[in-house]
Amino acid sequence: MRSVGVEEELLLVDPDTRDPRAVAGTVLARADAGAEAVLEKELQREQLETATRPTTAMSDLAAEVRGGRRTAAEQARRAGAEVAALATSPLPVDPSLSSGRRYRKLAAEFGLTAQEQLTCGCHVHVAVESDEEGVAVLDRIRPWLAPLLALSANSPFWQGNDSGYDSYRSLVWGRWPSAGPVEVFGSAEAYHERVGTLLATETLLDQGMIYFDARLSRNYPTVEIRVADVCLDADDTVLIAALTRALVETAARARRAGEPPAPATVGLLRLATWRAAKSGVSDHLVHPLTWVPAPAETVVKALSAHVHEALADAGDLELVRESLDRLLARGGGAGRQRETFTRTGDLRAVVTDAVERTAS
């Protein structure tokens, strides 16, 4: 059984106005050393990151995700703030970059791309045996990353307006020069050569800016799938993690069976990712097996069917079926945000709802 871990980025907001608050440094300075989970700073001072420990049981992962959110909420309150699992701020914000030499260099080099980059993602780490297996996995999961983004989509609002997208975060994130889908590498050697070539251009500050949708982790023996928005509901985070682990296991089995990666071009993958960002689970997506439009429900159930054997072997099949049905019925995070805004006419109510769901 492959272990899996999750990193979630959460938005810090004012408890009264619901505007984003640049208090990450204060939260971390005042954090209780005996807290349930460890918190980390991120690019902007209006956000925090939580991380689970590696685990093999989805029930344990669910407890870890909820524990991380609970810790973030408790520690934020000590600094006079709340946390919300929102991938972008519905309310207008002028973000504040975190302190440190690297962040100053990012601001100097990338200008508005860095300054405006207040986005919260969900990163899933899945264990692999080696870099060689990891790259074989990266090569084979590429067509299925767009449906994962669609399932997680939780950022319809940007600077006080409806963006017209379910995941506007992914478009903002895509401004970085190394972000997005990648080609088939073929081997670990080719992967590391490509990373070296990118760094040699001196466009990126360091290896930390290898922002592929999925990459080899620099710090752990894992592949890191980075395509998802942070999910409004913790149950959806666990669903994304279960599907991601099953994707990795399915790809590793395909490699052992000698099955080649799908020959999808980066251009086609980028288009499918854009469509997932636009539609979420509310409209049509590009089907990864036919590359023609299909209803979102058809596409995400094709993803579930693609990894059926791995889900069954891990004992996750029923969890994924039930979680998918619930998510599709309520329209995911983006659907929930828009429903709240339609009902109240108030973006602050959208944030309030997210704060309550994050801490519950």
- Give the model's confidence band at 252: pLDDT under 50 very low, under 70 low, under 90 confident, else very high: very high
Q: Residues 6 or more apart from 241 whose CB is under 8 A from it?
A: 4, 6, 58, 61, 124
Q: What is the pLDDT of residues 90-135, one digit of tens each?
A: 999 999 999 899 999 999 999 999 999 999 999 999 999 999 999 9
pLDDT at 38 > cutoff 90: no
Q: What average pLDDT does the segment 255-282 reach? A: 97
pLDDT at 30 > cutoff 90: no
- Give the model's confidence band at 37: pLDDT under 50 very low, under 70 low, under 90 confident, else very high: confident
- Give the model's confidence band at 31: pLDDT under 50 very low, under 70 low, under 90 confident, else very high: confident
- In this prediction, residue 72 carries a pLDDT of 96
- In this prediction, residue 33 carries a pLDDT of 72
Q: What is the pLDDT of residues 188-242, one digit of tens each?
A: 999 999 999 999 999 999 999 999 999 999 999 999 999 999 999 999 999 999 9
Going from the C-alpha of 331 to that of each of 207, 227, 290, 295, 344, the distances in angstroms are 36, 19, 24, 13, 18
Query: What values do phi and psi take at 259, rounded to 5?
Result: -80, 130
Strands 47-51 and 82-84: unpaired
The CATH class of 97-359 is alpha beta
pLDDT at 34 > cutoff 80: no
pLDDT at 167 > cutoff 90: yes
- Give the model's confidence band at 36: pLDDT under 50 very low, under 70 low, under 90 confident, else very high: confident
DSSP 3-state percent helix, strand, coil across the chain (nearest 5):
50, 15, 35
Tokens of 165: 């997208």
Look at 34 and 176; give whichever has higher pLDDT. 176
pLDDT at 52 > cutoff 90: yes
Average pLDDT for the chain: 96
- In this prediction, residue 360 carries a pLDDT of 82
- Residue 12: helix, strand or coil by DSSP? strand
> Nearest Cα to 248, choosing from 63, 124, 62?
124
**Domain limits, the chain:** 97-359
d(CA 244, CA 61): 13
d(CA 235, CA 135): 29
Going from the C-alpha of 87 to that of each of 157, 228, 354, the distances in angstroms are 9, 9, 11
List 293's β-bridge partners, or say none: 286
- In this prediction, residue 35 carries a pLDDT of 73
